[in-house]
Amino acid sequence: MSEETGQGEQAVELRGVVKEYRRDEFSVLALNNVDLDIPRNDFLALMGPSGSGKSTMLHLIAGIDRPTSGRLTVLGDDIGGMGEKELAAWRSENIGYIFQTFNLIPVLTALENVELPLLLTRLSKKQRLENAKTALDIVGLSDRLDHYPRQLSGGQEQRVAIARAIVTDPAIILADEPTGDLDAASAKEALNALALLNEQHGKTIVIVTHDPHAARYARKTRYLEKGDLLPEGQLPEDWFATTAPT
Amino acid sequence: MLRFVPLTFKNLLRNRRRTILTVASITMSLLLVGVLLSVYAAFYFRGGTEEEALRLIVRHRVSLAMELPQYYENRIRDVDGVETLTKFSWFGGKYKDNRPEEFFARFGVDPEQVFKVLSEVSIPEDQYQAWLRDRQGIAIGSSVVNRTGLKLGDRFTLVGDIYPIDLDVVVRAIFEGPEDNNSFFHWKYFEESLPENRRGEVGTFYIRVRSPDDVPRVAQAIDDMFRNSPQPTKTETERAFQLSFVSQMGNVKLFLLSIAGAVVFTILLVSGNTVAMSVRERIQEIGVLKTLGFTSSTVLSMIIGEAVLIAFVGGVLGTALTYLVTGLATEMLVGFFEGLIMPWWGVFFCLGVALLIGLISSIVPAIIAARTRVTDALRHAG
C-alpha cells in the first residue's frame, strides 16, 4: 500500500482500492487497499511476482473488472459506478488494451483486426479503413494490411495488436505482458512502438511485465507484492532471487 | 448492427467443415420436414378443382372391395340434381409385368358418359369417336403413353388378377388431363367377358351433379335410397374418397406430424450442440471483443445472428430441395400420388422452422457467452 499525492492532471487515480476474488469457499485478496496516481502522458511499468495483483490492477483500470471497494477514477470518470453498457462505451473510447498473446481474430486480416474497435463508432466504412491504415502505418505495418495473423511473425502480430489498441485514439494504453510471447528482437519492436506512442503521441501507457528490459522503457516502475503496491523505489523481498535479468 | 454482418460471415467461415456439415444437416432435416409437409398438404389441404367439386362417388358402404348392383345406375340417375353418371369399375390386372413403370390404372367405364363426368379431360374428337366405335378399344392417358411407349393402334392383353378373365384391347384414343395415368375401356366389353355369376355388378359410380350446392343433398338422397338394401351405399366427394384410402393406413396425420416434430427436435439438439461448441472455442475472443468495448447485447446478437444465418441457409436449401424432390416424386408417382407439391405456405413454414432452429439453438450459448465476465473469458484463453 502506498500513499501518493497527485501531480497535475491525473489519468488514473486509485484510492483505497480493494479487489477480492471469491472462488467457492475460498477468497483471495488480489489488491489490498491500493492508492495510486498515474499522471497523464506517463509511461508506468507494473512489476511483481506472479499473483501479486498486477493484471488485476490493469483490469480495474481498463474497466473490465470492478473493485470490491475503494474509488477508481480514470480520466476523471468514476468508472466503478458505471453500468455495463456505459462502461463498454467508455472503454471503447478511452482505453487501448494490448494482450500478451496478441489475441487477434484469426479470420480477420491485419486491417480488419485493427478496424474492429471502430465498428463501435459512427465512422463510415471509408473512414474506418483510413484510420486503420494510419494506425498500421504508425506501427510500421502498412505493407501487411491484407495478411492474416497466421501469416505474420509474433512481433508483427503484437504490432497489429498495438495498432488495434491505438486506432480509436484512446488516452490510455494498457499492455498486459506485451513482450511475454516475443523474442528479444520482436519485443524491442513492440516496446519501441509503445515508447513512440508515449513520447510523440502523448499516450498514457501502463504495462505489466516480468521483464526488467521491458520495464526500462517506462519512465517509472512500481512493484506489487501479494496485493500490496510497494512504495516508490521499493522492490519485493527476494526479487532478485526470483527474477533473472537477461 | 449491419456493420457487424461481415464479421458474422467471417466467423461462419472460421471452421468451414463444421459450417458446411451443420448447413447440410439442417438442409436434410428441412428436406424431410418439407416432404412430410407436402405429403400432409397433399392429403389434407389440396383444394379440389371446380370440376372435382361437381363429382360424387358412390361405393359400397362396407368396403370398396364389395360391389354394387348394376341396376342402381338408373335409380341414381333419377335423383334430382344428378346430371350424368358412369360406371367406374376397377379391373386391376397386369400389363406385361408388375414393374412400377408398367403400372397404370384400368377402369371399365361407360364411354359415352365418362368424359362428361371427367369433364376436364381433353381428347381428340376423332380418337374419341374411334374409341366409342370399337368395343375392344381402350383410351389411355398421356402419362401412360410416356411411360409405356404405347401408341394408337397397339394391341395388348390385360391379364386379370381380381377377375378370372383377360381383356384384349386396342389403343384407340389418348387423352390428357388430371386422370392421365388411367386407362378406360368399355364396361360392357368387360361385363360380357365375365362368367355369368360375376356379371351385373359395378365397383363404383362416378356422378356429375348440376351444381356444387346439390352435392350434399344428392349424396344424402342416394345413401338414403339404399340404406335398407343388402348393398347400402356410401356417397362422398372425390376428395373424401381419396382420403378414405389414406385413412386405411392409420392415423397418418399424427404419424406425419410426429416424424416432422422428431426431426425438428433432433436437429435443434444437433444445432444447439454445434453452436455451444463454437462459442466455447471462442470464449477468449469474446473476452477480447468485450475488452474492445463490445457490449454483451452485441455479442449476444452476433452469436444468434451466426446461428440464424446458418439455419436460414439450411432452410433455403432444404426448401429448394423439397421442391426438387417432390417434383421428381410427382413425376415418378404419377397416378399413385397426385399433387405432391410443397404448398406456398410450406415454404414460409420451413423457413420459419429454420429461423426458429437457429434462434432456439443459439439462445442459451449466446446468453452464457454474453454473461461471461471479461476477466473470466480472458483467463479462459490461458
**Tens place of pLDDT per residue across chain B (382 aa):** 678 888 888 888 888 999 999 999 999 999 999 998 888 887 777 666 778 888 999 999 998 889 999 999 999 999 999 999 999 999 988 888 777 777 888 999 999 999 999 988 999 999 999 999 999 999 999 988 988 899 999 999 999 988 899 999 999 999 998 778 899 999 999 999 999 888 899 999 999 999 988 999 999 999 999 999 999 999 998 878 877 777 767 777 888 889 989 999 999 999 999 999 888 888 999 999 999 999 999 999 999 999 999 999 999 999 999 999 888 887 766 555 666 778 888 899 999 999 999 999 999 999 999 999 888 888 764 3
Cβ contacts of B11 on chain A, cutoff 8 Å: 107
Q: How many Å apart are CA B378 and CA B382, to the nearest integer? A: 7
Q: How many Å apart are CA B289 and CA A175, to the nearest integer? A: 16
Q: How many Å apart are CA B76 and CA B82, to the nearest integer? A: 8
The answer to the question of residue A74 being in a domain is no
- Print the domain residue range for A152: 41-64+84-242
One domain for residues B28 and B84: no
Q: What is the reported pTM?
A: 0.72
Answer yes or no: do B375 and A99 touch at CB < 8 A: no
Q: How many Å apart are CA B80 and CA B222, to the nearest integer? A: 10
The answer to the question of residue B245 being in a domain is no
The answer to the question of residue B244 being in a domain is no
pLDDT value, residue A186: 85
State how many domains chain A has. 1
One domain for residues B313 and B185: no
Cell for B353?
422452422
Residue A117 is nearest to which of B285, B292, B374, comparing CB atoms?
Answer: B292
Cell for B18?
463444421
Give the ipTM of the model, two decimals please: 0.88
Residue B340 burial by Cβ neighbours in a 10 Å radius (0-12, 13-18, 19+): buried
Cβ contacts of A181 on chain B, cutoff 8 Å: none
Using an 8 Å Cβ cutoff, are B208 and B85 in contact? Answer: yes
Using an 8 Å Cβ cutoff, are B67 and B202 in contact? Answer: yes
The answer to the question of residue B159 being in a domain is yes
The answer to the question of residue B58 being in a domain is no
Closest-CA distance of chain B to residue A116, Å:
8
The answer to the question of residue A18 being in a domain is no
One domain for residues B96 and B147: yes
Tell me, yes or no, if A28 comes closer than 8 A to chain B by beta carbon: no
- Print the domain residue range for B42: 2-46+251-379
The answer to the question of residue B295 being in a domain is yes
- Best of A91, A104, A146 to disrupt the B interface (most B CBs within 10 Å) is A91
Query: Residues 182..221 of A with a Cβ closer than 8 Å to B: which?
Result: none
Cβ contacts of B381 on chain A, cutoff 8 Å: 101, 103
Answer yes or no: do B374 and A119 touch at CB < 8 A: no
Question: For residue A122, what is the enclosing H or E element?
Answer: none
Altogether, the residues listed in chain B come to a count of: 382
One domain for residues B40 and B90: no
Closest-CA distance of chain A to residue B369, Å:
15
Closest-CA distance of chain A to residue B279, Å:
14
One domain for residues B307 and B341: yes
Closest-CA distance of chain B to residue A117, Å:
6
Q: Which residue of B has its CA nearest to A55?
A: B375
State how many domains chain B has. 2
Tell me, yes or no, if A117 comes closer than 8 A to chain B by beta carbon: yes
One domain for residues B273 and B367: yes
One domain for residues B289 and B359: yes
Tell me, yes or no, if A84 comes closer than 8 A to chain B by beta carbon: yes
Condensed to tens digits (0 to 9), the pLDDT of residues A18-54 reads 999 887 788 889 999 999 999 999 999 999 988 889 9
